[in-house]
Structure 1
């Protein structure tokens, strides 16, 4: 069990709990009037994150989820015995990963982010390793980075806002040297399912319909397929959850704003009726409320690792090449007829 706490003008103690994985369904969404990749308004998302970063104090108070995930990602990097001279951090924000890296892991971090304000928010904060900041759209990596130029690329909770996720993964693989590793994390489809259901039920009750209030996100099976389609080898995806207790729906929405995680769906409804929000808050507590009167918010984290192919990597054995008899491994116990004791 891990705990995160923070205080601010509108909130008191918040506790984060590790939860078991949930079964989930992910809604498919694409605006009919846009291209297949235009799910999110990238210009709006940059503006939201710029606005959040300009209020440095409020923005830093909402770093708790990304800081926790970044620490976990660095731990995963430490599980790999090799070390990397330079780490490329795609969608770096102010440096969630950089603050957890040390000279034993890497000698430099190159931070890339589409939000200039967020990228430079913590420019005066010292880190153990030198950092280089590059203001660049995460979907345009090939325009700046050469092929086969990095041994390690990482991305902490930014890729869920990318429209062309397959193309971005391909660009990341292109940037890696052979046998280089990509370690990423992104929010999964069950993220904020409590908020989503509360808002949908409130809109049906008060307005007679629903609109996309929580961004569509992908699931672990889709991410595995995307890594394989992008050409990564030895790819793995696992799912974790962080559940955080908030006093009410208002503190949750306020924190999402200062995280830079507000709604940026292309055909979103731009205004949420105050009465609908009040109704959503009551529905939220009724359906999901905790015994102490607070409400839980689930952040589902999908962790992914993929390697750029290289002849030195282990290959699966050829079908039929096994030399061990399964019966020898199982023994006589494994061949008893059903019903025998």
Structure 2
């Protein structure tokens, strides 16, 4: 399947790396990505064992690396992969600024060779294997203890394949942690774009990339060969002064529409104005504010968290279907008998 244009994804992340590195405030931190990274790694903190070798897959890689280095004394090696070479450089530069030892690399003090991906610099800035597949990881099988993909996998054209390859890089009984934007993300923008385009152009085009649904995540983990799969959902609501600030934030994160079937070219000026007006009217951040400019707008970001393990000896095994001694209806009846707290 060719759902996303990987060259466009790389270009968006290149632009985001530049915008964050040159931000006037000198603070490249993105609060949304930092929060998602923190919530993703909270699941790692629940496991009472060491994870010395970590593979980080794109997305909020700089936030993940920073949290790992600050909070995980057991981490010895962190490998970061990304479709964007500029984002890789930004991640390493930010880690080196906060933790000087992180910039040492192989210790020779020469970064020039390490700046280029294996096989040379490619137009799409991806790594290709011998079959020409741009989504194969440049990591040996059974080489890392945990794979962390915070907001990095939702741009994969072959998501089951990408997750399978991530599982193959894990040692036996290794942990896979991922967070992806779900289908309810920026639903307000989808609605506003539909309303604005219908009003000005008489039709609707795809303005927001397709995203995964909750019901798909469990199947993806199982299909990738993960054991003990678990999926949960968060919904985060962000507030912005206006629609343009929301769009700027999406670009700042490198999350612009990269769908292969997206409508080419910029949005018409009249259509953009109609979309902004529809958004501000239907989704104000402050509902009782009569002045829409002061009310601002809100945007929903749905985050799906996936946890799975590579097969290994001594793991817990799920009981067979139908082997439970108590039904859910019986459990519900017993819970109803519990007295309410005073």
> Within 5 Å, which residues of 2 pair with 1:160-175?
160-175=154-169
Aligned to 1:7: none
How much has 1:161 moved relative to structure 2?
A: 1.0
- 1:36-185 correspondence to structure 2 within 5 Å: 37-55=1-19, 56-58=21-23, 61=28, 63-91=30-58, 95-101=62-68, 102-122=71-91, 123=93, 124-127=96-99, 130=102, 135=117, 137=127, 140=134, 142=136, 144-185=138-179
Offset, 1:295 = 0.5
Kindly indicate which of the two structures has a greater share of residues assigned to helix.
2
**Gaps in structure 2 of 5+ consecutive residues:** 106-113, 118-125, 290-294, 336-342
Q: How many residues align?
A: 294
Which 10-residue stretch deviates more, 175-184 or 86-95? Answer: 86-95
Change in Cα spacing, 1:75 to 1:105, as seen in structure 2 (3 Å) is: farther
Distance 1:311 1:248, change over 3 A: same
Distance between the aligned counterparts of 1:325 and 1:216, measured in 2?
40
Cα 1:127/1:299, change in 2 over 3 Å = farther
1:317 is displaced (CA, Å) by: 3.5
Gaps of 5+ in 1: 1-36, 335-341
Q: Considering only aligned residues, what root-mean-square deviation do their CA atoms show, in Å?
A: 2.7
2:137, 2:165 within 8 Å by CA — same for their partners in 1? no
Give the C-alpha shift of residue 285 in structure 1.
1.7
TM-score for the superposition, normalised by structure 2: 0.78
Instruction: State the secondary structure of the residue aligned to 1:151.
Output: strand
Pair 1:218 & 2:212 matched: yes
Q: Aligned partners of 2:182 and 2:326: how far apart in 1?
A: 41
Distance 1:333 1:78, change over 3 A: closer
**Does the aligned pair in 2 maintain the 1:241–1:298 contact within 8 Å?**
yes
TM-score by length of 1: 0.79
Q: In 2, Cα distance between the equivalents of 1:276 and 1:219?
A: 29
Distance 2:164 2:322 in 1: 33
Contact 2:61-2:150 within 8 A present in 1 as well: no
The CA deviation at 1:170 is 0.6
User: CA 1:320–1:204 in 2, change beyond 3 Å: closer, same or farther?
Assistant: closer
Specify the alignment match of 1:32 in structure 2: none
Distance 1:190 1:128, change over 3 A: farther
- Compute the displacement of 1:242 (Å): 1.1
Moved over 4 A (4+): 59-62, 131-143, 318-322
Maintained 8 Å contact 1:242/1:299? yes
Q: Which residue of 1 aligns with 2:311?
A: 309
**How far apart, in 1, do the equivalents of 2:178 and 2:49 lie?**
18
Flag the 1:312–1:197 CA change in 2: closer, same or farther, 3 A.
same
Cα deviation, residue 82, structure 1? 0.6
Contact 1:178 1:308 in 2 (8 A): yes
Pair 233,61 (structure 1): closer, same or farther in 2 beyond 3 Å: same
Residues 77 and 207 (structure 1), Cα distance of their counterparts in 2 relative to 1, 3 Å cut: same
Q: Equivalent residues in 2 for 1:196-235 (5 A)?
A: 196-235=190-229
Report if aligned partners of 1:78, 1:105 keep a CA contact under 8 Å in 2.
Answer: no
Corresponding residue of 1:249? 243
1:23-34 aligned at under 5 Å gives the runs none
- Conserved 8 A contact 2:167-2:224: yes
